Amino acid sequence: MRCNILFSAPLTLLLASTAASQNDTNSCKCVPSDPCWPTPSDFAALNDTLSGRLIEGIPPASVCYTSHPNYDAIACDAVLANWFVSDFHASDPISIGWPWWANNPCPPIYPNGTSVTGDTRAGEKGCGVGRYPVYAVNATEEVHVIAAVRFAAERGIRLNVKNTGHSFLGRSTAFGSLSVWTHHLKGIQYQESFRPESCPSNETYTAFTLGAGERDREVYEAAHERNIAVVGGSNQNVGIVGWFSGGGHGPLSSTYGLGVDNVLQVKIVTPDGVFRTVNSCQEPDLFWALRGGGGGTFGVITEVTMKAHPDPQTTLHTFSMSLINLNNLTGFWDLVAYIISETPRLKAAGMQGYGGFEFSDHSFSWQYNVHDKPNGTVEELFAPIAAKLDPEQGKTISYFTKVTHYPNSFASWNDTIGFESVAAGAPVLGSRLLPASALTNDTARLARVLQNITSSIEGLTSFRQLQLHLIANNNTEMIKETSVTPAWRDAVLHFIIIEGHSDADTYEASQPIINDMTKEKVAQLKALAPDSGAYLNECDPFDEDWQNDFWGEHYPRLRELKMQYDPDSLLWCISCVGSEDWAVEESSGRLCQVSPAN
């Protein structure tokens, strides 16, 4: 039997996986079609242990299919109405924000069989579980997590972890798996004087202890009630644990550090089924790995304690610029490159926030903040840029700026968050952490790179966007304290390229856009900053040099710790620590070992 690799690029890995698939199933994780798959009585016993918290993995849109036992026309209307809402997928035990990663096996359909995203053949394809988990454990206590971990480990099946399912890279789903749904591991506890376990008595912090099911909005609101702040993400629907595990950037990360810089203690169930409390004084190696090594890799986190900070007065600068002369596209990109070349100066003066470029109308914009700065600071910082743009105003471009003052960062964030649409297609991402040298050494080259990476593949149109996030934290003291790529510590911009294609596309049909992202667009960003890296949570998962790009010098130590705590790869995800030892068979979805564990 010949099997192709879905999530690997090197030919050697392809051949290794083919060989592995020809061996017995001991080299692969058990899936429902295997004799080693747990019996119904095994799952019934697990459900008894969990007090009835085991849930069969049934896609929520199954209610739209007349051939499915779950068919319910009224319930289908509700699914259709909420399919693009992040909260809807977060509140389901197996659904994820971008179902393409699960092979989009059951999209909601209208009575005529057309899917909500326009696939006219969706109805005739039918509804199945696809590459969603087979079962999910609705965990509300640590004991539920322990039971799930031990069950999966003893029976050789994959373990998956999901809170909200908000992963651009599909790391919240796994074929043939038992999933731990952490969404209801709730709890927000303010700690005025928190001391990590086993640490010196004089080592205390103002902090919040958070259940693994908490999201940004819930945490922000709890902190705001006490007139303080916690570093979190920019998106209100993102789960705090998955966010910080990969690094974690947000509106306050330049000021107070990345998410990983703010973690004081973690409670986790490791793949051996042991519940552990880890911090800088107690199992420090694992603590280091958890702060940047990635979610769903070293265990199932049940709780995290994070530092709290004063909530600063915030001044928001809103800037937008649009091309109005389509005959001067080169001049437009020259202006954009100039503006980007100014971001190191803006960052050094305290500006931070989020920006981007929309392809549809050739517009460039940002919402950048400064904290605890006197009135007039933003205007002074922007003045050189305005002087450059003013001669082109009404000729090549039209631009607009606005300055808004807020009493705190929460008010600014709450006033500027927007609705995020999910599940409308399949995102294809690529990114690079760009240092000042990449932005200032040759602005003409930067302009040409920008113009090149915004071009579309001939004959292929898709949603496209650039994002330029001025949110890096350059505290070099944290290089050794956390496991995120050291590239974060001299980066100015987290530069993301986003494209998209239909969620009805097969993996094969999506290859041209994926290959273009990896081999053309991201390659040009790498050429700008060859010694830098990329952010694990928002990256190109098909990057052939992912170990170095996502972790740099930290990867060998992370791999050793993965082998120490998860030698059998109970937890696996694409381009995650240790994932090179396993690969997914395209034909079956089974996860198989491709090389002996070292």
CATH code given to domain 31-181: 3.30.43.10
What's the pLDDT band for 461 if we cut at 50, 70, 90?
low
The answer to whether 547 and 294 have CB atoms below 8 angstroms apart is: no
The pLDDT tens digits of the residues spanning 383-442 come to: 999 999 999 999 999 999 999 999 999 999 999 987 788 999 888 999 999 999 999 999
What's the pLDDT band for 256 if we cut at 50, 70, 90?
very high
Mean of pLDDT values over 445-450: 96
The pLDDT tens digits of the residues spanning 218-235 come to: 999 999 999 999 999 999
Mean of pLDDT values over 303-313: 99
Q: What's the pLDDT at 407?
A: 98
Mean of pLDDT values over 457-463: 57
Strand partners of residue 491? 435
User: pTM for this one?
Assistant: 0.94
Distance CA 424, CA 116 (A): 8
What's the pLDDT band for 326 if we cut at 50, 70, 90?
confident
| Reported CATH class of domain 188-310 | alpha beta
Nearest to 98 by CA among 463, 534, 413: 463
Where do you find CATH 3.30.465.10 in the chain?
188-310
Cα angle 409-414-415, degrees, rounded to a multiple of 5: 100
Q: What's the pLDDT at 418?
A: 78
Q: What's the pLDDT at 4?
A: 32
Where do you find CATH 3.40.462.20 in the chain?
314-548
Q: What's the pLDDT at 21?
A: 37
Residue whose structure tokens are 């209801």: 184
Strand partners of residue 447? none
What is the residue type of 568? D
Nearest to 235 by CA among 226, 245, 227, 243: 243
229-to-190, 233, 412, 413 alpha-carbon distances in Å = 12, 12, 12, 12
3-state SS class at 178 = strand
Question: Token digits for 544?
Answer: 């052939």
Q: What's the pLDDT at 26?
A: 67
Where do you find CATH 3.30.43.10 in the chain?
31-181
The answer to whether 164 and 90 have CB atoms below 8 angstroms apart is: yes
Distance CA 286, CA 483 (A): 10
Mean of pLDDT values over 265-285: 99
314-548 classified as CATH 3.40.462.20: yes
Percentage with pLDDT > 90 across the chain: 86
